[in-house]
Structure formats: structure tokens, C-alpha cells
Amino acid sequence: MFQLIAKALLSGVLIVAIAEIGKRLPTLGALVASLPLVSVLGMMLLWHQRPDAENMAVHAEATFWYVLPSLPMFLLIPAMLRGGFGFWSALAVGCVLTIVLYLLMMQVGPRLGLRL
């Protein structure tokens, strides 16, 4: 139970830190947000619970392929905001696009030989 609480607190601290940095320095906040901190921490915790090299290799590779469908969202949202759309609308459309691209990746990836 302690590990679960510690994980949740660490995740919360990262999110708050990114938001606070982003208020003062948006570009630096974006840089910190783009760091694969969650992925690295997740891999460390996964390794601690199951130190299996092949399992970790599959996890890391699948993470790479699942990052790709999320990237267009970060181009769509600013384009929509600059085009006059409200933040919540742009965010919602960006999230829907990402979900659609994730589902597409889940269908197409294995057909291309990706282990997802």
C-alpha cells in the first residue's frame, strides 16, 4: 500500500511542478513535460517488480511506438487555438484524435510486425 501511495504522490508532484514551471516559463514547462520522466519511472518500477530483460525490452519498444500517435495532438491544439477555437474544444478534439490514432496503431502495428 505504501508503494502505491508513494507512486501517486510522485506523479502528483511531477504534474504540479510542470504546471508551476509552465506558468512562468511556458517553453521550459513544455520541455520538462516532454521528458520521458513517467516512462523512465514506470520502467524502474516495472523492473523492480519484474526484473526480466525481455519484458522490459518489449515494454520500452512498445512505448516508443505508442508515443508516435500522441504527437499530432501537440500540433493540432495550437493550430486550433490560433484559429479561434476555445481551449477546451481544442483539447477535446486533440484527445479524440489521439484516441483514434492509438486505436489505429493497435490495429496496424501488429500487422507490421510490431510487438504492441
- pLDDT tens-place string over residues 36-65: 988 998 899 899 999 999 999 999 999 999
Domain extent listing, the chain: 54-116
Distance of alpha carbon 26 from alpha carbon 5, whole angstroms: 29
Q: Which three cell numbers stand for residue 101?
A: 490514432
Residue 35 has pLDDT above 90, yes or no: no
d(CA 96, CA 84): 19
pTM exceeds 0.85 for this model: no
- pLDDT in the model for residue 22: 94
